[in-house]
Amino acid sequence: MKFNPLFSAASLLLGVSAVAQAAPWDEKYYNPKPAEGDVILPMPCEGAMVFRRVGVPVAGPLDDMRVVVGQEAEEWGYIEHKRPEFIAGSFTDSKAGSSRYYLMAKYELNKLQYQAMTEATCPTPKNTLVVPQAEISWMDAVRFSDLYNQWLRENAADKLPKEDGLAGFVRLPTEIEWEYAARGGSTLSSAEFRDVRYPMPEGMNEYEWYAGSQSSNGAVQLMGRLKANPLGLHDMLGNVDELILESFRLNKLDRQHGQAGGFVVRGGNFLSKPEALRSSARKELPYYGPKGPTQSKSTGMRLALVSIALTSRERVQAIEKSWQALGTEQGTANPNAPAEESAVQRLSSLASTLEDDTLKAQLKQLEGDLRAANLRQEEMRDQAIRANLELGSFLCTKLKDDVLFVELLHRNYDALCEAGTDDKQCASRKLKLDEQEDRVTKLARYYASNLIDAASLYGLTLLEKQVPVERQMMEQNKSLSALKPYLEVHWKNQKDYLKTDSIDINAWKNSCKSIPNS
pLDDT at 347: 66
Phi and psi dihedrals of 248, rounded to 5?
-70, 140
pLDDT band at 295 (very low <50, low <70, confident <90, very high): very high
**pLDDT tens, residue by residue, 133-183:** 999 999 999 999 999 999 999 999 999 999 999 999 999 999 999 999 999
Structurally, at CATH architecture level, domain 7-306 sits in Alpha-Beta Complex (3.90)
pLDDT at 247: 97
> For residue 491, is pLDDT > 80?
yes
What is the mean predicted confidence (pLDDT) over 19-26?
Answer: 74
**pLDDT tens, residue by residue, 95-137:** 766 789 999 999 999 999 999 999 999 999 999 999 999 999 9
pLDDT at 422: 66
* Distance, CA of 115 to CA of 440 (rounded, Å): 66
**By C-alpha distance, which of 219, 258, 262 is closest to 239?**
219
Tell me which of 337 and 437 has the higher pLDDT: 437
Q: Which of 35-49, 344-358, 425-439 has the highest mean pLDDT?
A: 35-49
pLDDT at 15: 45
What is the mean predicted confidence (pLDDT) over 385-407?
Answer: 95
What is the mean predicted confidence (pLDDT) over 380-391?
Answer: 93
**pLDDT tens, residue by residue, 197-256:** 999 999 999 999 999 999 999 999 999 999 999 999 999 999 999 999 999 999 998 899
What is the mean predicted confidence (pLDDT) over 416-441?
Answer: 84
Tell me which of 189 and 1 has the higher pLDDT: 189
* Distance, CA of 507 to CA of 502 (rounded, Å): 11
Write out the H or E segment, with its range, that includes residue 306.
strand 304-306
* Distance, CA of 201 to CA of 469 (rounded, Å): 29
pLDDT at 340: 55
pLDDT at 479: 85
- HSE on the CB side for 161, CA within 13 Å? 24
pLDDT at 95: 76
Work out the mean pLDDT of the chain and round it to a whole number: 89
**pLDDT tens, residue by residue, 60-101:** 888 999 999 999 877 789 999 999 999 999 999 877 667 899
Tell me which of 355 and 44 has the higher pLDDT: 44
What is the mean predicted confidence (pLDDT) over 50-66?
Answer: 92
Domain residue ranges in the chain: 7-306, 377-513
pLDDT at 415: 82
DSSP annotation of 257 reads -
> For residue 386, is pLDDT > 50?
yes
Residues in the chain: 518
> For residue 20, is pLDDT > 50?
no
| Distances in whole angstroms, Cα of residue 386 to Cα of each of 334, 393, 454 | 18, 11, 11
* Distance, CA of 344 to CA of 365 (rounded, Å): 11
* Distance, CA of 320 to CA of 435 (rounded, Å): 58
User: Hey, what amino acid is at 384?
Assistant: A
Tell me which of 19 and 4 has the higher pLDDT: 4
Tell me which of 517 and 130 has the higher pLDDT: 130
